[in-house]
Amino acid sequence: MYAFRRATPADAERVAHQRRRMFVDMGHPDDAGMEEAIRAFVPWVRRSLESGYYAGFLACEGDEVVAGAGLMLLEWPPRADSLQTLRGYVLNVYTEPGHRGRGLARALVGQALEHCRGRGARTVALHASEAGRRIYEGLGFRPSNEMLWRAP
């Protein structure tokens, strides 16, 4: 039986652990660069949980956190197709291997979507791994034309 709860700043290390495992599962090397990114992420996520900029949703079995999902609510300019000025971004969705296939990621992302609805955010984006694509499509997410630029 699983219990669900919101993440607190005290969960920063656990959220960082799940973020690291998520990236490694997607093929990123677990190297010095990853270590540096996770070290920088811990204080960021702690501050962001404290301020409310980042909302974390956790699934627990007893005292053990076994799955998580994160959400950022971002200010967004009105557009012709939507006058909404708040947009959600789901990130850090991860389930520990022994707990996969039980609907935890779907439930946690569903909680994040409900949080968005409650705050008036009607558009939510995410970047899907191949493993997560089916879950997100089942929740109503559709592919978009987003592109990415990184400075050299």
Each domain of the chain, given as residue ranges in start order, spans 3-138
pTM: 0.94
The DSSP string of 58-110 is: EEEETTEEEEEEEEEEEE---BTTB---EEEEEEEEEE-GGGTTSSHHHHHHH
Q: Which pLDDT tens digits describe the chain residue by residue (152 residues)?
A: 999 999 999 999 999 999 999 999 999 999 999 999 999 999 999 999 999 999 999 999 999 999 999 999 999 999 898 888 999 999 999 999 999 999 999 999 999 999 999 999 999 999 999 989 999 999 999 998 888 789 98
Q: Which CATH class is domain 3-138?
A: alpha beta
